[in-house]
Amino acid sequence: MRAASVSDYRELARRRLPNIFFEYIDGGSYAEVTLRRNVEDLEAIALRQRVMRDMTKINMSVETLGQTLQMPVGLAPVGMAGMYGRRGETQAIRAASAAGVPFCLSTVGVCSIEEVAATGTPPWFQLYMLKDRGYMRELLARAKAAGCPVLVFTVDLPLPGSRYRDIRSGFTGGSRLQQAMTQLWDGVTHPAWTWDVGINGRPHTLGSVAGAVKESRRVTDFLAWISRNFDRSVTWKELDWVRESWDGPIVVKGVLDPEDAKAAAKAGAQGLVVSNHGGRQLDGVRSSISALPRIADAVGNDLEVYMDGGVRSGLDVLKALALGAKACFVGRAWAWALGAGGESAVAKMLDVLRAELAVAMILTGCADVREAGKTLLDEA
């Protein structure tokens, strides 16, 4: 199949990836109500078609946090991306750099901060608050030394949500022997992935935290360590602690409530991501797109407001911009593309989003994404 849309990359990834890794990236928490809402609520928003306007020239670029984005899209942090393609995070950042959009490296990425930065483009770095403050301070120092321009501080994971698909697939739960046998069978039945990633994509560690988990050998061991070290005691005062080691922009990720958005601004953040962690944390909460307008109204020009969750097309991007986002971050979209065909597929997926956004802009009469507003939506 030749991919024409983000959904096509999902199907190609399903065919190529071992089941445990496809289900890990594809699934959400519990009954996956919020996962579905993220997509369905975006689909339900109607764009307002306008005609007979001179759309010879359109501008997709935006300025944010001292950077110019060639389109209002970024690659969100995705854990274990190096298990979807050989040294996957490095492939993804090369595609993002070529497209002129930011790539955010997850704390739990397979490739380390240094390996990703060695591509020539330092990533934005996503940080979880862990109990081991000493190791967190070390991570911040490494990110700063690598030239990471933005810190994305994820605040909606004081503990991981229960993801039933991972239990059913055999990725988590069960004995170590059962997990090993499941993973072995997955590898045998997906030979192309096994050669590309299983054999030639080693080491299969979480590069940025490998120094803290020296006794572990498998990705699931690292994830278990991370899970045990999430800190439930975190408050907004922790941003002061982070500031002791980080003097660049801080973006708070995982905000769904206007009061929390105001608190992020008061705590000194420069931006926030309206996000429910892709429907992977508290199931049953509202979709990101439905939370976006109230948050954008609450913080006004005090913060750069981004959104992630459910974005599957360039049309979705324009809808989010119309409701107050400066840019959208996509996670599953690029992970599926990486799993389907590596760097070239991620690059083509970004081209698809760009082409779809262009069509949406032209047919709504929006010549400049910086001027996108609610007038682009048909609210009748």
Written as one string, the DSSP assignment of 238-288 is HHHHHHTT--S-EEEEEE-SHHHHHHHHHTT-SEEEE--GGGTSSTTSPPH
Residue type, 25: I
Cα gap 146→149, rounded to integer Å: 9
Q: Interhelix angle for 314-322 vs 332-364, to 10°?
A: 70
Instruction: Name the CA dihedral angle for 76, 61, 113, 337, rounded to a multiple of 10 degrees.
Output: 50
β-strand partners of 103: 75
| Cα distance between residue 10 and residue 14, in whole Å | 6
Residue 204 is a catalytic residue: no
Residue 303 token pair:
């913060």
Choosing from 16, 37, 253, 277, which is the catalytic residue? 277
State whether residue 304 is helix, strand or coil: strand
* Peptide linkage before 293 cis (omega within 30 of 0): no
Q: Which residues are catalytic?
A: 277
